[in-house]
Amino acid sequence: MAGYRALLTDLDGTLIHSQDCICDALFAAFAKVSDVVPSKEDILGMFGLPVEVMLTALTNVRPDEKEVIAAFIDEYKRQYPIHMERTRLIDGAWETIRIIENKGIPICLITSERRKNAAHILKQTGLHRYIRQMVTRDDVTCFKPDPEPILKGAAACGVSPGECVYIGESPFDIEAGVAAGVFTVAVPSGNWPLKALAEKSPDCVISDITKLCSVFAGQTGK
């Protein structure tokens, strides 16, 4: 297997169990601005996309209603840290990230969350010790499944896309990784069944995040 010089990783569903927490924060934000509050199933079906995309797709709020969208985002920002206090790491995530970073492999978080929210979670879980780069909702103009966040992650680590591994748990993640030309690893630790991930043609499918260490076996970083 080729040597890889950086790891790019999704957050929600890949490193942390956060789905219920985020849904509760979104329920409060939806209720603030719309008479339509989507079901949990509808929200989970769009998990990994920016929250404002969910708002206009799942309610009667139009994309040109900028003030309503801003109010929704503000309420979500307020609710997020309250509900995310309940989040927890996925089994094996902390140890896997530690092992890979200790090899000298730089790690960059790729997330559709705002930078402030992502930084809060990294600090809360202790992952900030090992994940020192982030590409967030605030850093891009296009979102997964567009490859822009992945490409910016590679640049943040100072390597080419072909030298990166990207791991994610949703079809949006896999599409973005494949389009960016990185070695794309699918892990069914979130809301999506293995079949839905495999249909997007990842380079590798692993049963749980601890198996990611094998991709970097025998390697050191730069």
* Backbone φ/ψ region at 218: left (φ over 0), alpha (ψ -120 to 50), beta: left
Give the per-residue pLDDT at 1: 46
* Beta-ladder partners of 108: 8, 133
Give the per-residue pLDDT at 191: 85
Q: What are the tens digits of pLDDT across the range 156-188?
A: 999 999 999 999 999 999 999 999 999 999 999
Give this prediction's pTM: 0.89
Confidence band, pLDDT 50/70/90 cuts, at residue 220: low
Please indicate, yes or no, whether residues 193 and 116 belong to a single structural domain of this protein.
yes
Residue 185 near residue 96 (C-beta atoms within 8 A) = no
Q: What is the mean pLDDT of the chain?
A: 94
pLDDT at 212 over 80: yes
How many structural domains is the chain composed of?
Answer: 2
Give the per-residue pLDDT at 49: 84
211 falls within a domain = yes
Please indicate, yes or no, whether residues 154 and 72 belong to a single structural domain of this protein.
no
Give the per-residue pLDDT at 2: 59
Please indicate, yes or no, whether residues 95 and 203 belong to a single structural domain of this protein.
yes
Q: What are the tens digits of pLDDT across the range 43-82?
A: 988 887 889 999 999 999 999 999 999 999 999 999 999 9
Residue 26 near residue 52 (C-beta atoms within 8 A) = no
Confidence band, pLDDT 50/70/90 cuts, at residue 221: low
Residue 9 near residue 173 (C-beta atoms within 8 A) = no
Give the per-residue pLDDT at 222: 52
Domain that holds residue 56: 19-84
Q: What are the tens digits of pLDDT across the range 1-42?
A: 458 999 999 999 999 999 899 999 999 999 999 998 999 999
The whole-number average pLDDT for the span 83-101 is 96
Domain boundary among 50, 69, 84: 84
Short-list 135, 132, 131, CA closest to 150: 135
Domain boundary among 36, 60, 84: 84
1 falls within a domain = no
- The conformation of residue 85, written as its DSSP 8-state character, comes to T
Short-list 16, 7, 36, CA closest to 117: 16
Residue 110 near residue 185 (C-beta atoms within 8 A) = no
Residue 209 near residue 190 (C-beta atoms within 8 A) = no
Domain boundary among 57, 84, 111: 84
Length, in residues, of the chain = 222
* Beta-ladder partners of 165: 7, 183
Residue 152 near residue 135 (C-beta atoms within 8 A) = yes
d(CA 144, CA 55): 17
Residue 99 near residue 74 (C-beta atoms within 8 A) = no
133 to 38, 44, 101, 128: CA distances (angstroms): 33, 26, 12, 9
Please indicate, yes or no, whether residues 111 and 185 belong to a single structural domain of this protein.
yes
pLDDT at 151 over 90: yes
Please indicate, yes or no, whether residues 118 and 182 belong to a single structural domain of this protein.
yes
Which H/E stretch holds residue 99?
A: helix 93-102
Strands (DSSP E) found in 10-77 = 16-17
* Beta-ladder partners of 34: none
d(CA 22, CA 97): 23
d(CA 161, CA 138): 21
